[in-house]
Structure formats: structure tokens, C-alpha cells
């Protein structure tokens, strides 16, 4: 077991942690993270007086040697790093060595521990800078007791008067740690409330069932993708399962719960029009990447992190979400609509930790999905020296037999024996196959065909811009010079160029080669909107413009067409890479199962 030692002044300056303890939830977080780093398989959290009277965390981890206890309660004393290189590559939950020292500075702290190889336990009490060591009858592991929080900082204590907010913060901290560590058993009790007991689980979905309700698996899609040293795995919601808030879109990076602001935008764009306006998908996602590619030391509580190449990460996540949603095999009508039942109630995460919030949803179990799994706790196995040997990127949450391709897409099915019969409401094509009745949306199907055709054209040409024979004047009252000029570089990257003709105003001189005659101004308008919306260049802008153009050129309700035209449409749709969704995420084809049709007439097949 490595001995705890005081860090040198230079390394302390490099860490530059800032204020760590801002609330009772911050103490719970730091103490539980220490327990996890110690390899604990059982953790108990007891709270009195909303954390201001007492916080107690007990674990069965590797323990601390008696000789190291005085150093353990000092700031910037740790067994987890030794140099700045260690700091950059830190993959343990905690690493700065400042938590216990910071806690002791604003409370009365008692720390008891017995290492796995020790014959007896020891303890230390810290209050207002005074230390008292004593013998302890504790069994293997560590117990930290924090009493009278902020007793010497009354201003901060007075700031936390609203108990529901304090409890919500603690519940959110515990949820993030419990879900990411499913093989660890947790017991949490707040005052006289009934304790929350989460037994150790083998799989992530089992732990999610403990937190959000055992039928949660019926409402989720498994997600997996891996590329260029990045790996993302977890679950996102099916199209009917959503929240009225973004709080249940959660991301863990190397098992550490973090706030990643672009996640909301990326998921909402991936679902597109499949998600109602003002609603947000549910997501529990675990991102793994080398520690050197992420800076976890930019926030005092490590809630926010900084990625070395955020653009590459966003592109990776965007593609992973798109593939999972586009290739979701559920083109059955029943997969698009929740089958409600008053007997089964979906838990909110807050209800598990004692809050009676009103966002519980109702659902009936549907076909079970294959289960992500953590086979063992090899990613955080303490060594005999007490140093955690963490290798977060080497452990997968998924079983080897999970039916996901190397590209991250679940195999999608398209009916091969579809027979077309008629057009319904001048919008939908009616067809049948051996497994049921099909409805094809002519507009979204045509959109998908046009969209992939545009992308194919782009892939074949490197030079995108095409000079116009005659510049097209832009109406300055719509496209003012001071709006267009700052966007010139982004617009040029997707093939558009404008020139200022002085009193005559701006004129469009170049457009992408795939823009048809007469569509130049409309395409330029879409490009300007896309630049504002996507705030990027290259593929993301091309993608948005292709979506807009594919919609403009798609067949619309009431336009004349014959069954032979529709057969050709379906043949071209079948050749698409992702035929089941339009570029905006809406379904192109829906199946009503044969059994479901029989059930409408109270008959059995």
C-alpha cells in the first residue's frame, strides 16, 4: 500500500482546485468517491439534519494505515498522484487530495479506518485545526463522520435554508455515482426516512431498473459505438418515451458523472421530429477515452470537463446517435406509440431517493432488449498498496453477443415482398407483406432518397463551388451586408460566395454544384440559417443544406402519381443506407402486425 505524502508546492499550484465544499451534497460526493477509489463493494450513507448535523459514509474498501491518518486530513495529500504527468493522466474518481482537508476546515471531522492487512483500526478527530488520534474497533474499511457543517462559516450555512434543494442536490450526486457503479451495493438513509437500498448488480440495466423502475428496459434502445480511441455505450429512449426537462440526459466520462452542455443539442437534433417540441429524450450514456484526451481538473467539483478535441467528439456522438435511431428495428406501429397501462408506473429517479415528483410516466413492458453488463470491477481494483489501478476504457458495459455492428448500427429490416395496393389520403402508400400491413409516407420516403443522393454527389466531388454565369442580386433588406460578411468563411466552405457590388448591394456569385437552377436563393437562405444553427463548417452544414433541399424536392400531398411511380419510389428507398427514417428523423414506413389487425376484430390468428 503506497503511503500518503504531502505534495510539493509546485504541484499544489498546478492543481489549482479552487473551492471544493460548497454544500452537503459536495461532501457526500467526495466521501463516496473516496470509497469507490478504495475498491469498496458496499457503501452506506447516513444523513441527519439535511447534512448540516451529520453526514456519515461507511465502506468496506482497502482502508488507510494508522500512520497515514494525520496526512489524510491535510489538504493536497494523496496516494493517487505523484507528479504533473499523473495529474494529466488521472483516471480515479478523486486525485487532488484536498477533499478531507477542505471538509475538516468547515466541520468537525472524524475519520476511522482499518486496512485489509491491519490487525486493528485507528481514528482521528479534527476540529478547528486540532487533531486527536485514537484507537478504533472498526472492521476493514473506512468510516468518515462529518458533524456541524459550516459551524465556523455561518454565512454559508444561512445560505442553505431551502431543504428541498439541498436534498435534490444530494440525490442527484448519489444517482450519478450509483448508476455508474452497479457492482457496488449502496444503502442511503436521510433522517428518519425509509432507507434506499440498492443491491450490487451485474448489469447496468438492472441498476437502472432499481433507480427508474424495473420496466425501464422496455422503453430504451441500447447504444454502442467505437472509433478513434472513443467509445460510447449505454441507453437512449424510444420515440414515445420522453421527459419535460433535460435533467435525465446524463453522461459519464470514464465513469465520472459530468455536465456536458452540447449533449442536449446533439440528442435533440438526432431525434428530430420524432420527439415532440419541448420534450427531451432520456439517456444514460458512458463515454470512454484515454485520460490524456480530457482535462478533468477545470472545475472545483469536477462536474465540468474539457476535451482535447471537442469537435471530433461531437461528430462521433452525432453519428452514434444517428445510427442508433435510424437503424432501430421498430418500424411497427406499436413501437411509435406508448401502450399505456394504469398498473405499471415509471419511477422518476427522484422518487427512488425520497422525493415525490410528478414526472413519473406510465408504461407496459415490451420486448426485452439485450443487456449491457459489467462483468467485474476490474476498472477500479485496489492494489495491495491502496493505489487504485483504474483502467476505465478497458471494461465494456455490453455483453459480447449484443447485436450491434462495428459501425454502431443495429441491423435494420426493410420488407422485401411488399405489394402495393393504393394511395390513402393522397399521402400514404398502402401495401402488404407476409408479416402485416404497411403504410409508406410518400413525402418522407422521397426525402430520404433525395437526401442520400445529395450526399452521394458530395462524396464524389472535392470542389463544391460552381461559379454562376450571372451574379444573382440579394435583397439587402433581407440579407444585409453586416449579417452576411461575418459568415463568408463558413458559407464558402459549403460552396456559396457573395460579392459586394457597392450601391447595387450583395450578389451571389458561387453556389454548390448540386443546387438546381432557380433554387440558388432558397439554398443560400438555408445555408445562412444552417450556419447560425449549426455554428460549424464542413459536413454538418452540408448535411443541413442537403436536408432542406431534399424536403423541397420531395413529392407532396395530392401530387399526381401512379402505382408504378410508387413501386419505383419503394425500389429506390430499399437501396438507401437508412431507409426507415427521413433525414429529419420521421418514419418513412410503418408496419401494423398481422396479429394486431386480427386483434382489432377480436379474433385470433
pLDDT at 372: 36
Q: Angle at Cα 165 formed by Cα 163 and Cα 167, nearest 5°? A: 70
Treating both helix axes as pointing N-terminal to C-terminal, what angle do 520-534 and 539-552 enclose, rounded to 10 degrees? 140
Q: Give me the mean pLDDT over the 530-538 stretch.
A: 60
Whole-number mean pLDDT of the chain? 75
Whether 500 has a pLDDT exceeding 70, the answer reads: yes
Q: How far is CA 415 from CA 409, 438, 577, in A?
A: 18, 9, 14
Element (H, E) at 228: none
Q: How far is CA 194 from CA 261, 289, 353, in A?
A: 34, 39, 10
pLDDT tens digit sequence for 379-431: 333 443 333 333 333 333 333 333 333 333 333 467 778 888 888 888 898 98
Percent above pLDDT 70 for the chain: 72
Per the model's pLDDT, the better-predicted residue between 597 and 357 turns out to be 597
Q: Give me the mean pLDDT over the 154-163 stretch.
A: 71
Residue-range domain boundaries for the chain: 5-198, 204-394, 414-605
SS3 content of the chain, % helix, strand, coil (to 5): 35, 25, 40
pLDDT at 94: 53
- CA-nearest of 396, 347, 296 to 171 is 347
Whether 575 has a pLDDT exceeding 50, the answer reads: yes
**Confidence band, pLDDT 50/70/90 cuts, at residue 246:** confident
Quote the radius of gyration of the chain (alpha carbons, Å).
Answer: 29
Whether 167 has a pLDDT exceeding 70, the answer reads: yes
Q: Give domain 204-394's CATH number out of 3.40.50.300, 3.40.50.970, 3.30.230.10, 3.90.550.10.
A: 3.30.230.10
Q: Angle at Cα 21 formed by Cα 152 and Cα 162, nearest 5°? A: 80
Percent above pLDDT 90 for the chain: 20
Q: How far is CA 463 from CA 280, 450, 467, 584, in A?
A: 39, 21, 11, 27
Regarding the domain with residue range 414-605, which homologous superfamily does it belong to in the CATH classification? MutL, C-terminal domain, dimerisation subdomain (3.30.1540.20)
**Confidence band, pLDDT 50/70/90 cuts, at residue 91:** low
Burial class of residue 217 (count of CB atoms within 10 Å of its CB; 0-12, 13-18, 19+): buried
pLDDT tens digit sequence for 508-529: 899 887 777 877 887 787 777 7
- What 3-state class would DSSP assign to 252? strand
* Global confidence as pTM: 0.62
**CATH topology identical between 5-198 and 414-605:** no
pLDDT at 382: 41
Q: Give domain 5-198's CATH number out of 3.30.565.10, 3.40.50.360, 3.40.50.720, 3.40.190.10.
A: 3.30.565.10
pLDDT tens digit sequence for 97-153: 567 888 888 889 999 999 988 788 999 998 887 889 999 999 999 999 999 988 877
pLDDT at 550: 80
Per the model's pLDDT, the better-predicted residue between 440 and 12 turns out to be 440
- CA-nearest of 27, 334, 315, 352 to 214 is 352
Choose from 111-120, 475-484, 528-537 the range with maximum mean pLDDT: 111-120
Amino acid at each position: 500500500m503506497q503511503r500518503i505524502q504531502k505534495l510539493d508546492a509546485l504541484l499544489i499550484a498546478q492543481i489549482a482546485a479552487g473551492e471544493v465544499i460548497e454544500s452537503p451534497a459536495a461532501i457526500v460526493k467526495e466521501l463516496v468517491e473516496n470509497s469507490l477509489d478504495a475498491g469498496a463493494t458496499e457503501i452506506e450513507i447516513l444523513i441527519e439534519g439535511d447534512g448540516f448535523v451529520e453526514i456519515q459514509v461507511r465502506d468496506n474498501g482497502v482502508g488507510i494505515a494508522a500512520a497515514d491518518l494525520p496526512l489524510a486530513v491535510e489538504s493536497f495529500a494523496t496516494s493517487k498522484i505523484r507528479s504533473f504527468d499523473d495529474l494529466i493522466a488521472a483516471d480515479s474518481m478523486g486525485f487532488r487530495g484536498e477533499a478531507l482537508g477542505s471538509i475538516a476546515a468547515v466541520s468537525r471531522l472524524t475519520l476511522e479506518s482499518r486496512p485489509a492487512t491491519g490487525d486493528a483500526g485507528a481514528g482521528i478527530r479534527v476540529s478547528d485545526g486540532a487533531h486527536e488520534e485514537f484507537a478504533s474497533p472498526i472492521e476493514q474499511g473506512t468510516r468518515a463522520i462529518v458533524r456541524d457543517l459550516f459551524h465556523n462559516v455561518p454565512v454559508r450555512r444561512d445560505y442553505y435554508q431551502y431543504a428541498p434543494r439541498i436534498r435534490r442536490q444530494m440525490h442527484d450526486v448519489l444517482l450519478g455515482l450509483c448508476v455508474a457503479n452497479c457492482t457496488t451495493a449502496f444503502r442511503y438513509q436521510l433522517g428518519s426516512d425509509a432507507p434506499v437500498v440498492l443491491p450490487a448488480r451485474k448489469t447496468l440495466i438492472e441498476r437502472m431498473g432499481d433507480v427508474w423502475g424495473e420496466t425501464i428496459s422496455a422503453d430504451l434502445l441500447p447504444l454502442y459505438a467505437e472509433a478513434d480511441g472513443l467509445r460510447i455505450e449505454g441507453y437512449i429512449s424510444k420515440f414515445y418515451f420522453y421527459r419535460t426537462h433535460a435533467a435525465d440526459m446524463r453522461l459519464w466520462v470514464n465513469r465520472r458523472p459530468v455536465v456536458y452542455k452540447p449533449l442536449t443539442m446533439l440528442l435533440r437534433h438526432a431525434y428530430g421530429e420524432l420527439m415532440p417540441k419541448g420534450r427531451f429524450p432520456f439517456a444514460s450514456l458512458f463515454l470512454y477515452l484515454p485520460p490524456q484526451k480530457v482535462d478533468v481538473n477545470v472545475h472545483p467539483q469536477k462536474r465540468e470537463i474539457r476535451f482535447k478535441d471537442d469537435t471530433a467528439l461531437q461528430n462521433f456522438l452525432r453519428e452514434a446517435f444517428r445510427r442508433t435511431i435510424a437503424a432501430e428495428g421498430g418500424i411497427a406501429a406499436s413501437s411509435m406509440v406508448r401502450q399505456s397501462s394504469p398498473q405499471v408506473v415509471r419511477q422518476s429517479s427522484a422518487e427512488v431517493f425520497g422525493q415525490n415528483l410528478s414526472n413519473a410516466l406510465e408504461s407496459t413492458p415490451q420486448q426485452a432488449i439485450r443487456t449491457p453488463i459489467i462483468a467485474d470491477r476490474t476498472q477500479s481494483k485496489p492494489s495491495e498498496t491502496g493505489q487504485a489501478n483504474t483502467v476505465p476504457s478497458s471494461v465494456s458495459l455490453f455483453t459480447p453477443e449484443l447485436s450491434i455492428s462495428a459501425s454502431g448500427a443495429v441491423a435494420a429490416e426493410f420488407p422485401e415482398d411488399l405489394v402495393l395496393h393504393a394511395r390513402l389520403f393522397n399521402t400514404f402508400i398502402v401495401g402488404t407483406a407476409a408479416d402485416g400491413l404497411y403504410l409508406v409516407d410518400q413525402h418522407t420516403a422521397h426525402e430520404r432518397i433525395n437526401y442520400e443522393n445529395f450526399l452521394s454527389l458530395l462524396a464524389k466531388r472535392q470542389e463544391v463551388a460552381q461559379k454562376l454565369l450571372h451574379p444573382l442580386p440579394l435583397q439587402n433588406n433581407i440579407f444585409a451586408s453586416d449579417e452576411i460578411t461575418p459568415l463568408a468563411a463558413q458559407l464558402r466552405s459549403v460552396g456559396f460566395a457573395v460579392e459586394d457590388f457597392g450601391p447595387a448591394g450583395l450578389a451571389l456569385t458561387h453556389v454548390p454544384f448540386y443546387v438546381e437552377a432557380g433554387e440558388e436563393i432558397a439554398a443560400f437562405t438555408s445555408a445562412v440559417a444552417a450556419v447560425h444553427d449549426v455554428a460549424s463548417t464542413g459536413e454538418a452544414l452540408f448535411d443541413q443544406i442537403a436536408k432542406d433541399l431534399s424536403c423541397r424536392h420531395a413529392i407532396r400531398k395530392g401530387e399526381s402519381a401512379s402505382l408504378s411511380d410508387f413501386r419505383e419510389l419503394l425500389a429506390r428507398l430499399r437501396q438507401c443506407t437508412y431507409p426507415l427514417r427521413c433525414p429529419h428523423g420521421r418514419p418513412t414506413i410503418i408496419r401494423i402486425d398481422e396479429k394486431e389487425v386480427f386483434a382489432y376484430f377480436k379474433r385470433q390468428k
